[in-house]
């Protein structure tokens, strides 16, 4: 009988351990669902693939600590296309994001864009504008050619007019004469800075990326008059359609990174396979004493009675 009770106690211990495992797995499942809803991808230091995606700052594939990834911050920025998740974009390593955007550009634009894309992203972050929109504007304006010049003497990567350049320098309180400003517009870094600053002013003025895009190309006066007389802005507009076309190509680059992060996140999930027992095991119905155990139990009962007497 003593052996039977010991087996029964062991079954109870297994049953309690099973209940604890079920509870732990349930809590783990809730945490996993919360992580999916919040971040749309799984974070885990166990995989090396996230390093290639620019995710998981501070985790080394060799087990050694290193400085965290540098990422852009667009979490408080409104996107040009609503389906762009700027919070996710802000979690991607700078170099990884830049390489992905360049990979989705045609040749030879990709080679020219490689020199200036980091600066455009930096200025977009500084002015809290949709970075893909800023890059699309530069792409449409000059195809990333710093020496581009239009027939109306618009210059550089962002195709800034001389008068606009003088006006922007006055707003920034930079003491330069007109001749120097025209010369400095040919410097790519200055041209991009002024162009993004002008875009930020247009966006703040009109409140919509569509109006700001058309205003950058046709002037804020055109957009103001069109709105005053209830005329459509950006409808059947060739320039605006080109910007959207380039924007979609850049958006596809971000989507590809996001899809890869989901795939690697799915691969990194730990699948736990618990040892399952028959229900009779937990109910104690599998405990059937043998004949020898019954004989020993009866002898123990007799001995106990004799001892009492």
CA dihedral over 94, 95, 98, 101, signed as positive or negative = negative
Are 144 and 109 in contact by the 8 Å Cβ rule? The answer is yes
Decide: helix, strand or coil at residue 149: strand
Dihedral sign (CA 113, 119, 123, 126) = positive
pLDDT at site 287:
64
Q: What is the pLDDT of residue 285?
A: 60
Q: Which residue has the tokens 């195809």?
A: 143
Q: Residue 164 and residue 143: Cα distance in Å, rounded?
A: 20
The whole-angstrom separation of Cα 48 and Cα 52 is 8
Count other Cβ atoms within 10 Å, centred on residue 148: 16
Q: Which residues neighbour 215 within 8 Å (Cβ) at sequence distance 6 or greater?
A: 202, 205, 206, 222, 223
**Residue-level pLDDT at 200:** 96
Does this model's pTM top 0.85? My answer is: no
- CA torsion sign for 82, 118, 244, 127 is positive
Q: Read off the pLDDT of residues 218-275 as tens digits, 9 standing for 90 and up.
A: 999 999 999 999 999 988 899 999 999 999 999 999 999 888 877 766 555 554 455 5
SS3 284: coil
- Kindly report the number of other CB atoms within 10 A of residue 225's CB atom: 12
Alpha-carbon separation of residue 104 from 50, 225, 306 (angstroms): 20, 37, 93
**Contact, 167 vs 98, CB < 8 A?**
no
CA distance 55 to 268: 14
pLDDT, tens digit only, all 309 positions of the chain: 445 555 555 655 655 665 566 666 666 666 665 655 554 444 433 333 333 444 333 333 344 433 445 889 998 899 999 888 888 888 888 999 999 999 999 988 999 999 999 999 999 999 999 999 999 999 999 999 999 988 888 999 999 998 999 899 888 888 778 788 888 888 999 999 999 999 999 999 999 999 999 999 999 999 999 999 999 998 889 999 999 999 999 999 999 988 887 776 655 555 445 556 666 666 666 666 667 777 777 777 777 665 555
Sequence-distant (≥ 6) Cβ neighbours of residue 32 within 8 angstroms:
42, 269
Contacts of 40 (CB under 8 A, 6+ apart): 85, 88, 258, 262
- Third-level CATH fold of 86-267: Lysozyme (1.10.530)
Outline which parts of the chain fall under CATH 1.10.530.10. 86-267
Contact 140, 243 (CB under 8 A): yes
Q: In the prediction, which pLDDT does 176 show?
A: 76
For residue 194, the model assigns a pLDDT of 94
By three-state DSSP, how is residue 62 classified? Answer: coil
CA distance 162 to 185: 8
203 touches 185 (CB < 8 A): no
- pLDDT tens digit sequence for 169-200: 888 888 778 788 888 888 999 999 999 999 99
């Amino acid at each position: 009988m003593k052996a039977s009770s010991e087996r029964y106690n062991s079954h109870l211990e297994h049953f309690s351990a099973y209940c604890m495992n079920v509870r732990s797995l349930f809590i783990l499942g809730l945490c996993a669902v919360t992580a999916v809803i919040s971040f749309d991808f799984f974070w885990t230091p166990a995989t090396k693939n996230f390093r290639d995606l620019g995710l998981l700052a501070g985790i080394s594939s060799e087990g050694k600590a290193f400085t965290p990834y540098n990422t852009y911050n667009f979490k408080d920025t409104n996107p040009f296309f609503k389906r762009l998740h700027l919070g996710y974009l802000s979690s991607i390593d700078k170099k990884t994001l830049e390489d992905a955007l360049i990979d989705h550009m045609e040749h030879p634009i990709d080679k020219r864009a490689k020199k200036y894309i980091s600066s455009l992203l930096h200025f977009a972050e500084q002015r809290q504008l949709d970075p893909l929109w800023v890059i699309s504007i530069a792409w449409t304006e000059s195809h990333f050619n710093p020496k581009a010049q239009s027939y109306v003497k618009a210059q550089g990567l962002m195709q800034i007019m001389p008068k606009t350049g003088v006006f922007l320098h006055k707003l920034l309180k930079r003491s330069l004469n007109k001749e120097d400003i025209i010369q400095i517009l040919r410097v790519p870094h200055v041209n991009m800075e002024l162009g993004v600053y002008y875009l930020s002013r247009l966006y703040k003025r009109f409140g919509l990326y569509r109006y700001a895009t058309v205003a950058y190309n046709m002037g804020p006066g055109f957009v103001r008059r069109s709105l005053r007389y209830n005329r459509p802005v950006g409808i059947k507009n060739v320039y605006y359609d080109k910007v959207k076309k380039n924007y979609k190509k850049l958006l596809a680059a971000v989507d590809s990174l996001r899809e890869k992060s989901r795939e690697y996140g799915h691969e990194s999930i730990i699948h736990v396979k618990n040892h399952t027992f028959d229900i009779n095991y937990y109910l104690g119905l599998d405990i059937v004493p043998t004949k020898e155990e019954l004989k020993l139990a009866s002898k123990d009962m007799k001995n106990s009675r004799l001892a009492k007497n």
